[in-house]
Amino acid sequence: MASVQQYCTFQLDDLYFGVEVQKVQEVLRYQEMTVAPLAHEVVSGLINLRGQIVTAIDLRRRLELAPREAERLPMNVVLRTDDGAISLLVDEIGDVVEVEDSLFETPPETLTGVARTLVAGVYKLEQRLLLILDTERTVDLSPVAAD
pTM: 0.91
Domains of the chain: residue spans and CATH: 4-139 (2.40.50.180)
Q: How many CB atoms lie within 10 A of CB 141?
A: 16
Q: Which one, of 34, 75, 73, lies nearest residue 54 by Cα?
A: 34
Per-residue pLDDT of the chain (147 residues), as tens digits, is: 569 999 999 999 899 999 999 999 999 999 999 999 999 999 999 999 999 999 999 999 999 999 998 889 999 999 999 889 999 999 999 999 999 998 899 988 888 888 889 999 999 988 899 999 999 999 998 864 444
**DSSP bridge pairs for 15:** 12
